């Protein structure tokens, strides 16, 4: 029998609008993918969760990524223990906004709070038909990984393509003259982004198939109850600096 929760953990999801934050929360809390109506923002949720034998009370807070909410959104950051920063694996714009918009915002309003980086819509990453039907998504392509130069077209006039990226190999075969290169944000790019923003981990998930959704929030909980070594060291240093300040004040009082 699980013990009662020993602490409360506030987990806040952030990221561009329409990347699937709300669907991910609904899927996690209900084990169902919403097919009818998806609200703009998920209602706050709280429940006891057991991770690695530790029971915590997990509070989930959703935020709206649209610019209209830029002033209200930071109000949800107060008291946050961890952020789940999401971008869509089929949207280059949401990927780029992690660095351009979300990291600066979190560093300004909630400095030092750990981040779990999440790539959503994993099921669509290699769905060529979906990407062809949504050309405005401008996803990142394998060619963009190999070359920093911007690509103005995601189409190639060829029937066969094999891309070798380190140990990551992709093969595409098509009988048509125009096809979309596997347009996706690759795992390697996600890992690079994680390093750039200093996130504790990077996870790819799909709310539709429920793949890795639970892993996202398990990771968020673990970051708080078992912080990485560097994070623990920073906390210890802050604690020591605080103690020195107290001792100094005590000495001043004693000498008076």
Greater confidence, 162 or 152? 162
Give the pLDDT confidence of 174-227 residue by residue, as tens digits: 433 333 444 457 788 999 999 999 999 999 999 999 999 999 999 999 999 999
Alpha carbons 182 and 73: distance in angstroms, whole number:
34
Give the pLDDT confidence of 15-72 residue by residue, as tens digits: 999 999 999 999 999 999 988 767 777 788 999 999 999 999 999 999 999 988 999 9
Contact indicator for 55, 4 with CB cutoff of 8 Å: yes
Angle among Cα 66, 67, 72 to the nearest 5 degrees reads 90
Phi, psi for 3 (deg, rounded to 5): -75, 165
pLDDT of residue 242: 47
Strands 160-165 and 168-173: antiparallel
Top-confidence range, 110-114, 155-159, 238-242: 110-114
Q: What is the mean pLDDT of the chain?
A: 77
pLDDT of residue 73: 95
**Radius of gyration of the chain from its Cα atoms, rounded to whole angstroms:** 22
DSSP SS3 for 114: coil
DSSP 43-105: PPEEEEEEETTEEEEEEEE----SGGGTTTGGGGGTT-SEEEEEEETT-HHHHHHIIIIIHHH
Residue 144: pLDDT band with limits 50, 70, 90 = very low
Domain ranges of the chain: 1-129+186-225, 141-182, 230-256
Nearby residues of 113 by Cβ (< 8 Å), 6 or more positions away: 77, 80, 81, 82, 83, 106
What would the CATH number be for the domain defined by 1-129+186-225? Answer: 3.40.50.300
pLDDT at residue 255 greater than cutoff 50: no
Q: Which of 59-68, 113-122, 158-167, 221-230 has the lowest mean pLDDT?
A: 158-167
pTM (2 decimals)? 0.74
Residue 130: pLDDT band with limits 50, 70, 90 = confident
Average of pLDDT values for 117-124?
Answer: 95
Average of pLDDT values for 88-113?
Answer: 96
């Amino acid at each position: 029998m699980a013990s009662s929760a020993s602490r409360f953990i506030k987990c806040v999801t952030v990221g561009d609008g329409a990347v699937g934050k709300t669907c991910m929360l609904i899927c996690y809390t209900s084990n169902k993918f919403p097919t009818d109506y998806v609200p703009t923002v998920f209602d706050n949720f709280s429940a006891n969760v057991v991770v690695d034998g530790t029971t915590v009370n997990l509070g989930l807070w959703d935020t709206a990524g649209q610019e209209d909410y830029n002033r209200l959104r930071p109000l949800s950051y107060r008291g946050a223990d961890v952020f789940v920063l999401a971008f869509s694996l089929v949207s280059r714009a949401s990927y780029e906004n992690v660095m351009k918009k979300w990291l600066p915002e979190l560093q300004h309003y909630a400095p030092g709070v750990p981040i779990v980086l999440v790539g959503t819509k994993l099921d669509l990453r290699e769905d060529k038909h979906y990407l062809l039907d949504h050309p405005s998504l401008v996803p990142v392509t394998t060619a963009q990984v190999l070359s920093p130069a911007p690509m103005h077209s995601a189409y190639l006039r060829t029937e066969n393509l094999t891309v070798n990226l380190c140990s990551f190999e992709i093969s595409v075969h098509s009988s048509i003259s125009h096809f979309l290169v596997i347009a996706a944000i690759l795992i390697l790019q996600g890992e690079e982004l994680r390093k750039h923003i200093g996130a504790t981990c990077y996870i790819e998930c799909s709310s539709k198939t429920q793949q890795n959704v639970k892993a996202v929030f398990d990771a968020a909980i673990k970051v708080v109850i078992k912080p990485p070594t560097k994070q623990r060291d920073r906390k210890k240093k802050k604690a020591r600096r605080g103690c020195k300040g107290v001792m100094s004040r005590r000495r001043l009082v004693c000498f008076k």
